[in-house]
Structure 1
Amino acid sequence: MKETRSPPPGSRDGWLDLLRALAVSLVLASHGSWFFAHPEESVFANVTATLGVEIFFVLSGFLVGGILFEQVASGASWQSLLPTFWARRWIRTLPSYYLFLGLNILIYQNSGLPPLAPYFAFLQNFAHPIPPFFPESWSLAIEELFYLFFPLIVMAFSKVHGRTTRTFIAAGAFVFLVSLATRIGAVILFEPTMEAGIRKVAIFRLDAIMTGVFAYIALRWIRPSHKPALFVAGLVILAFSVLILAQPQGELDHSFFARTLLFNLVQLSVALLIVAGVGLVQLPNATLAGVTALSKWSYSLYLINLPVIIVIHSFWRMEPHASWATLVSAVLYASICLILAAGLYHYFERPILGWRDRKTLATA
């Protein structure tokens, strides 16, 4: 089959921006359900949270993993490739992460803090459930650990088998299968719960990001005529996944399939939707600016929304069954999150990214 050129990783694509905006909207909607009674029993909260983060994982693999794939294929020396890749990744993510780590320390200092050293090294949920402190950091730890170790595994495979696409895929398959095998082994041996015991434990979830990397590689050989079928297949698999995710949490906690292969099914649906729409979908001008802004603010939105909820609850004791209070709290929550995220992006994230680009381009 003729190889087609993949879009430049990291460049803005309306379809990818839409998926990223959808992902953060799902996470905000899930956490926003905490204003209602018994959110831990909410099917809506469970489904939206799972879908939102899985979209983030696959998108991250597609974009950041795609950058790594292109750098490896370029033939750049490992001595220059690895420091540049890690520097660009860490300058993008670490400043905001440590800013909110400090903010969470201030918020939780009166209610007790867990050992903080693991949080500075992204080991807070490496092989065990994450503590209640800074709970949203579980997914960030998975991403940072993946992008620390995966390039080293690719390098090790390349030293033995040469620097080829096949070698890169083999290294990715190794990471994917090890992560899946540890997840299956944990379910068989320890019977963990789906949410805390599997979904949010780093060593069980590295295959999620790897799925996005595979999607980037696969896009090189997918013909445009295949994309409509892939889009339909992605929607069908996604709908089937949602039906399973909508089961009561108690059933999911005892389901072997839900705790092992269901994650891969969701990721497959997202990967199919990505490759089906990237480079083809054009957003209407009326929505393009809003979607792009929401996409750019997504990292700040992900980090800011739980502290906003905590502050609102601490100052405003509301009756969860009162419809007016629910509406007001939802509008207040969404408004504060958007305002703060926009400010953080424009006055904190973007200046750091500009400095990063100047430094790394100058070094290159």
Structure 2
Amino acid sequence: MSINSTSHRIVGLDLLRTNAILLVVLGHGRWMLDGCPKPIRTLFNGAFGYMGVELFFVLSGFLIGSILLKVFIKTDDFGFAEVKNFWSRRWFRTLPNYYLVLILNILFTVYIFRITLPDHLWTYFFFIQNFSAHVNSGFFYDSWSLSVEEFAYLCAPLSLVILSALLKYFSKKLIFLIATGLLIFLVISVRAIYFVFFHTSEVDWNDSIRQVMIFRLDSIFIGFVGAYFNYFKANLWKRLRYWAFAIGIGCLSFSFLFYLHNQHADTFFFYVIYPLIYSLGALLILPLLCFVDIKNAILLKVVTFISTISYSMYLIHNSLISNSIKAFVGNNELGAFTGLFCYLIYWTLTIGLSYLLYKYFEKPATDLRDMNYKPEVTLITIKPDSVPQRDMGDKGE
């Protein structure tokens, strides 16, 4: 499939993924504009990066949750063979790129950045660098979010296997709903227990909650809720899409503004409830996006292009490109002209190198996966309520 192919893609979800990665890249390059006038600094606010990551979490949960749901529903005896195939396809999609960029980060850190590698370097190879606490050493900073996704996709299919054994006489529809609800409840409960019994005001929210894997898994599983409604309640999913979108935008706007003014808040709401509101906002905009179409051919190609290379962009834009620019210009505040020039170079390198990484490494690895692992059940289905569902696939996830 060419990089601009829109066959079997939901354009609205590509649009969301494109906006999410652009927000992340925009936010992480914000430091280059510190010497620019205030309107520019405000327009390119670093908080946008936070919003982009949250959108990614729910979108990823929706897409991969839809795949898992359909495998679960269509398999008579869902067990470890299906789980193994699910894991293999996910890992073939994500791990080759991740480990390549991890090795590049090690080499850049030693030979270009000239700083000491973190003592916990080994944890990055097993996605446990932020299992219970995020150690912000500056090394491969963005990888914390990948560990959230990887562990979510470890837990979800296993929970379905266990609940299927315990709830033999329950329908698969109900088992999937129970598993999703239970996982979300457990993660929120862990956040609450941490705040009530272990939290101290000296601990930063960003490092102690937002970027800690065991506290953020619910963001992925909320995407599973969308997968459930899209599959079993397709008419409702479509009928309420405008109302849901309006409420979702309201939730996202509230969350963004709240974060701007309460980054150092020390309250139960901020630590426990606030991440949930962001995720629910992202979930509620999905129904409308599933039916969005882009008529302009040029815009459609741009959206599809950025969406397709978004994973490569996420991996290299900050840890390799932004940090390389920072190493070159030093720690002094950049002037307006120099900052804007560096920002342009930052975006050019991010898009250009991400395309090369996708074309010559990420896509060949994905093609190799498709040759060696049986595909999951077809994702083109017609529901009993006669609402056709297009193939969402797992491209870009």
Are 1:119 and 2:119 matched, yes or no? Answer: no
Residues of 1 paired with 2:272 and 2:50: CA distance?
A: 14
Query: Does the 8 Å CA contact 1:130/1:201 hold for their aligned counterparts?
Result: no
- Cα distance change, pair 223–204 in 1 and its aligned pair in 2 (3 A): closer
Residues 212-221 or 139-148, more deviating: 212-221
Alignment partner, residue 186 of structure 1: 194
Deviation at 1:150, TM superposition (A): 1.6
Give the residue type in structure 2 aligned to 1:264: L
Correspondence list, 1:158-173, <5 A: 158-162=164-168, 164-173=172-181
Correspondence list, 1:217-232, <5 A: 217-220=228-231, 221=233, 222-232=236-246
Correspondence list, 1:249-268, <5 A: 249-250=263-264, 252=265, 254-268=266-280
Residues of 1 paired with 2:120 and 2:93: CA distance?
A: 25
Correspondence list, 1:21-60, <5 A: 21-37=18-34, 45-60=45-60
Give the residue type in structure 2 aligned to 1:353: T
Query: Does the 8 Å CA contact 1:25/1:52 hold for their aligned counterparts?
Result: yes
Query: Does the 8 Å CA contact 2:33/2:340 hold for their aligned counterparts?
Result: no
Query: Does the 8 Å CA contact 1:237/1:265 hold for their aligned counterparts?
Result: yes
Are 1:106 and 2:139 matched, yes or no? Answer: no
Over residues 181-210 of structure 1, what are the superposed CA-to-partner deviations in whole Å (9 max), with x where a residue is unaligned?
Answer: 111121222134221110000000000000
Residues of 2 paired with 1:65 and 1:143: CA distance?
A: 11
Over residues 272-313 of structure 1, what are the superposed CA-to-partner deviations in whole Å (9 max), with x where a residue is unaligned?
Answer: 101222034335222000111100111110111111011112
Residues 223-232 or 145-154, more deviating: 223-232
Q: Which of 250, 270, 273 is the matching residue for 1:236?
A: 250
Give the residue type in structure 1 aligned to 2:196: I
Correspondence list, 1:125-144, <5 A: 125-132=130-137, 133-144=139-150
- Cα distance change, pair 223–18 in 1 and its aligned pair in 2 (3 A): closer
- Cα distance change, pair 219–324 in 1 and its aligned pair in 2 (3 A): same
Q: Which of 216, 236, 246 is the matching residue for 2:260?
A: 246
Alignment partner, residue 70 of structure 1: 70
Alignment partner, residue 4 of structure 1: none
Correspondence list, 1:301-312, <5 A: 301-306=313-318, 307-312=320-325
Alignment partner, residue 293 of structure 2: 281
Query: Does the 8 Å CA contact 1:234/1:268 hold for their aligned counterparts?
Result: yes
- Cα distance change, pair 38–265 in 1 and its aligned pair in 2 (3 A): farther
Alignment partner, residue 94 of structure 1: 95
Query: Does the 8 Å CA contact 1:20/1:59 hold for their aligned counterparts?
Result: yes
- Cα distance change, pair 199–45 in 1 and its aligned pair in 2 (3 A): farther
Query: Does the 8 Å CA contact 1:319/1:325 hold for their aligned counterparts?
Result: no
Alignment partner, residue 207 of structure 1: 218
Percent identity reads 32
Query: Does the 8 Å CA contact 2:85/2:374 hold for their aligned counterparts?
Result: no
Q: Secondary structure at the match of 2:261?
A: coil
Alignment partner, residue 154 of structure 2: 148
TM-score, length basis structure 2: 0.83
Q: Which of 350, 355, 363 is the matching residue for 1:342?
A: 355
Residues 325-334 or 73-82, more deviating: 73-82
- Cα distance change, pair 321–344 in 1 and its aligned pair in 2 (3 A): closer
Residues of 2 paired with 1:277 and 1:296: CA distance?
A: 17
Residues of 2 paired with 1:12 and 1:173: CA distance?
A: 28
Larger helix proportion of the pair: 1
Alignment length (residue pairs): 351
Q: Secondary structure at the match of 1:279?
A: coil
